[in-house]
Amino acid sequence: MASYQELLAQRAMLEKQIEEARQAELSEVIGRVRRLIAEYGLTAADLGFKMPGSMGMVADKIRGPVAIKYRGPNGETWSGRGKQPNWLTRLETEQGRHRDEFLV
């Protein structure tokens, strides 16, 4: 039976051979793909890739500000998202008012 060190050496040699075989096949495959792309005039979009800076990716990442949904008596505002602001909570609990009164 082989020793631990011998097995490690064999593994290192096999990993090197694997990487060499992979690189050889990759260069062949890349060449074949480039020929097909040139032959058919394909673009990245044709293949389903999104290019950085294209409108699809940019539009997905850009978000505008959220519109104001509620305005308080002193000009306070709230979009209706997140935790309800203290000014609206106070008006509802202390003065018995309803948030619909403050819709913009």
Whether the CB-CB separation of 36 and 42 falls below 8 Å is answered with yes
pLDDT at 51: 72
CA contacts within 13 A on the Cβ side of 82? 9
Are residues 50 and 8 part of one domain? yes
pLDDT recorded at residue 83: 93
Dig out the tokens for 12 from the structure: 């290192």
Note down the domain range covering 17: 4-61
Residues 57 and 76 in one domain: no
Residue 88 has a pLDDT of 92
Predicted local confidence at residue 41, as pLDDT:
94
- Which tokens sit at 61? 């990442």
Assess whether pLDDT exceeds 60 at residue 44.
yes
The CATH number of residue 80's host domain is 4.10.430
Which pLDDT score, from 0 to 100, does residue 65 have?
A: 86
In this structure, the answer to whether residues 95 and 55 fall within a common structural domain is: no
Residue 1 confidence (pLDDT): 79
In this prediction, residue 60 carries a pLDDT of 58
**Number of structural domains in the chain:** 2
Q: pTM value?
A: 0.41
Q: Are residues 53 and 10 in the same domain?
A: yes
